[in-house]
Amino acid sequence: MPTLTEQAAALFQITLTSEQAAQFEAYARLLIEWNERINLTAIIDPDGIQVRHFLDSLTICRVLPMLPGLRLIDVGTGAGFPGLPLKIASPDIEVTLLEATGKKVHFLDQVIAALGLRGVDTLKARAEEAGQMPGRREAYDAALARSVARLPVLLEYLLPLVRVGGRCVAMKGETAAVEIADSKRALVALGGRVLKVEAVQLPGVTDAHHLIVIEKIAPTPPMYPRKPGMPTQKPL
């Protein structure tokens, strides 16, 4: 398999330095090592990590320019995807990794320290809590999520965190079109609109991958997000 550096350049026109390539290698090693202690991922082979975690995360660059100073939050980041690969590839962006599970937050803190990353922080909280926090609500240029919830629920997690004019990106599979159709009410209630949907193809992967890009066009009403658990119990 071509190296991550080669594939990032060929697929996304991303140039990785030798230092950045080494950071990705260290990240992969830590992911495999920690996965023996806590359940972080079912994908633990090096090629799978490179394609299904690292390259998959970098697909975000196709729809969201990683401009210096961009303030980004990765909601339900888990083992750090897509936020950490984007931070490694674009050191000048500001990243918050939002995760509710303490053990995973500890892993993320260890990765950040081991890689010597700056301009990235972790936040242990549920998305419903973060969306009501001063300094977090409507404070980000972009909010991302991968495999967190269906889109009507996910929008209530993401849109309250983004400023008007900002973007949300939901990483979805073959259900993307159906989930968009089911999200009309949520989009209106939360102040968003679907800007575009981009299909992406990963090397050697036949599964459908789509990036749903939502623009925030109006402030989110103060009642949203609702209390923890409510978005999933009663989706908009």
Report the run of H or E that residue 195 belongs to, with start and end.
strand 192-200
Encode pLDDT of 155-192 as tens digits. 999 999 999 999 999 999 999 999 999 999 999 999 99
Query: In the predicted model, is pLDDT for residue 44 greater than 90?
Result: no
Question: Mean pLDDT throughout 59-66?
Answer: 96
Query: In the predicted model, is pLDDT for residue 147 greater than 90?
Result: no
Which strand ranges, in their side-by-side order, compose the sheet holding 94-99? 120-124, 94-99, 71-75, 140-146, 162-172, 209-216, 192-200
pLDDT at 8: 96
Query: In the predicted model, is pLDDT for residue 1 greater than 80?
Result: no
Q: How confident is the model at residue 193 (pLDDT cuts 50, 70, 90)?
A: very high
Long-range contacts of 11-17 (CB under 8 A, 24+ apart): 11/55, 11/58, 11/203, 12/58, 12/59, 12/61, 12/62, 14/58, 14/61, 14/89, 16/89
Q: Where are the domains of the chain?
A: 4-233
d(CA 100, CA 78) in angstroms, rounded, equals: 9
d(CA 21, CA 208) in angstroms, rounded, equals: 27
* Count of residues making up the chain: 236
Q: Give the predicted TM-score (pTM) of the model.
A: 0.96
163 neighbors 140 (Cβ within 8 angstroms): yes
116 neighbors 125 (Cβ within 8 angstroms): no
Q: Does the domain at residues 4-233 carry the CATH identifier 3.40.50.10420?
A: no
pLDDT at 170: 98
